[in-house]
Amino acid sequence: MNRRFAFTMLAGVLVAASCSSSDSILESGNETPTTAASPTTVAASPGTDDTDAPPSSDATTIAPTTSTTPPPDPGLCPVDALENADGPVEVLFWHGLNGATNDGIEYLAAEYNASQSKVKVRLEPQGSYDSTIDKYVQTSQASRPDLVMFPEYMVQQTVDSDSVIPIQSCIEAAGFDTSAFRQATLKAYATAGVQWAMPFNVSNPVLYFNRRMFEKAGLDPDAPPQSLQELREYSQAIVDSGAASYGIAIDSGTDSGGGWFLEQWFANAGELYADNDNGRTAPATKVLYDGPVGVELLTFLQQMVQDGLAYYVGGNATGQDNFLKLADQTAPAAMTIGTSAAMGTVFDALDGGLIPGITNEDVGIGPLPGPSGTPTALVGGAALYVVADHGDETTAAAWDFITYLVSAQSQSEWAVQTGYVPIRADALSLEPVASTYTDDPRFRVAYDQLIGSPDEPALQGPILGPQREVRVVTALAVADIFEGGDVQTALTDAAARANALIADYNAYN
């Protein structure tokens, strides 16, 4: 019977472990590695974001679309209901932030609660995006939170869950001005002409590298590689010079090398990842990554692994393995790719002396090297959804909190604490982000590559119903490829499985 006991517990642990396997610090960010705001730089900021697309006069919140879906009813979001409330209205907010991104949201919520008396926000961190999603999906509408944060790949599933109020209702009911927003961040959470969620924490992948190793290899740490070809050349130089054992550490995690980065690389190449304009004009029916672009991309990466230029760290369930390879005492890599939102965590860990021999200043941040050689980025991170049927007052209260979170001032503070990208241009002229972006350009990299991205369907990223599951099968194929499997076979198989998932999803929704 002891054995049964042990087996049961083991099975439990295994299941639990597999459930949490895609929890990722990649989505986390961290607390203020910020430099002290220097008074001299304060005035310099308003002109610094001239790369922004000017807020067009007819800027709307609605993504361009061919769909004829009627606009959602503003009556769904009674933004004035708060005025009739007696006593403070509680808003329960589930989020998947962790580490010091959790500290960041706690800070903002505390500031908000202290700033007014009508609404009291109660945070319930669920630990990761995955467990937020799982718990939300499994829970009845009444037990769901009033406000929930979902990552960018959850748009279609959330829409189909019929459980949220499209944020467009609130925007229209309140006459909320979104003209200062980066339009791409809004579009990422719009489908078939309806704005479903309010973007809040926007991140994208950047290149982390060891500046000392670059110098040792005779490379300019202020000019990190921008194209995949350069990435290979830099890696070669690093390995040849002995500055490090490997050029780059790569992984096959779903929210990194096995899924998210692929979507980013496809966008960078100007290629669609899924049909129907990445699922933006009509529900996608199939993925397109098994074509020549995908094969070329993954063959290139596979070759880097086989030539000893890249080190494959595996599925990277913790999201830390690729970073730790840079700190490897015996056979380190000089570069890795990770979300900009991990910047705070990485800097914090280094400031705390966790990694012997590497300091905060040794870390360089560069744009994500991509097929085109011109940095671009899809909107990553997460957005806020207002849960339906929780009462007018609660809905209004949730909306009020959202407007606080996406205010220019909040976004400025949030970006500096975490490494996330401000979603609105006017945040850049406000402290603390104004001086941080000037004094520590590493924080700007993610922002710059996002605003540098052209406005075309490929650069809005895919919206798939079962996007999370598609990433899982794709990541398995990538793992197979990095371990030496045949590229075309792996991608074809993965695409077939992904397409079956999509067909199933579309049939049921």
Partner 1 sequence: MAVSEPGEATGVIDDATDKARSGGRPSSSAFSTPRGIRLAGRYALLGLVTFIVLFPVYTTIVASLKPGNRVLQNPLVPNAFTLDIFREAWTEGRLGRFILNSLVVAVVVTVCQVATSVMSGYAFAMLDFPGRGVLFMVFLATLLVPLEATLVVNRRTIDSLGWLNSYQGLAAPFLATAFGTFLLRQVFLGFPDELRDAARIDGAGHTRFLWHVALPVVRPTVGALALFSFLSSWNQYLWPNLITTESDMNTVQSGLRSLRYSTLDKPNLLMAGTVIAAVPIFAALLVFQRQLVRGLTAGAVKG
Q: Does 11 bind partner 1 (CB under 8 A)?
A: yes
Nearer to partner 1, 36 or 142 (CB): 142
- Residue 138 burial (CB count, 10 A): 9
From 21-29, 156-164, 224-232, 411-419, give the range in contact with partner 1 by CB under 8 A. 21-29
Which of 33, 72, 104, 125: binder of partner 1 (CB under 8 A)? Answer: 125
370 close to 269: Cβ distance less than 8 angstroms = yes
Report d(CA 395, CA 82) in Å as an integer: 9
67 close to 195: Cβ distance less than 8 angstroms = no
Q: Does 34 bind partner 1 (CB under 8 A)?
A: no
Binding mask 331-360 for partner 1 (x = CB under 8 A): --------------x--xx--xxxxx----
Shortest separation between residue 290's beta carbon and partner 1, angstroms: 33
Phi, psi of 39 (to 5 degrees): -60, -30
Backbone angle region of 506, left / alpha / beta, with phi > 0 → left and psi within -120 to 50 → alpha: alpha
Report d(CA 84, CA 73) in Å as an integer: 21
Which of 55, 88, 127, 485: binder of partner 1 (CB under 8 A)? Answer: 127
Nearer to partner 1, 1 or 114 (CB): 1
Shortest separation between residue 126's beta carbon and partner 1, angstroms: 7
Q: Which segments within 2-133 are labelled E, that is strand?
A: 89-95, 119-125
Total of residues contacting partner 1 (CB under 8 A): 46
Tell whether omega for the bond before 432 is within 30 degrees of 0, i.e. cis. Answer: yes
Q: Does 330 bind partner 1 (CB under 8 A)?
A: no
Shortest separation between residue 51's beta carbon and partner 1, angstroms: 32
DSSP bridge partners of 90: 120
From 128-136, 217-225, 232-240, 446-454, give the range in contact with partner 1 by CB under 8 A. 128-136
Q: Which residues inside 78-117 make contact with partner 1, applying CB under 8 A?
A: 94, 98-100, 102
Nearer to partner 1, 43 or 137 (CB): 137
89 close to 118: Cβ distance less than 8 angstroms = yes
The residue assigned the tokens 């190449």 is 269
- Token pair listed for 354: 């966790």
236 close to 194: Cβ distance less than 8 angstroms = no
Which of 158, 320, 339, 412: binder of partner 1 (CB under 8 A)? Answer: 320
List residues near partner 1 by CB under 8 A. 1-2, 4-6, 8-13, 15-16, 19-20, 23, 25, 28, 30, 94, 98-100, 102, 124-128, 131, 135, 138-140, 143, 145, 320, 327, 345, 348-349, 352-356
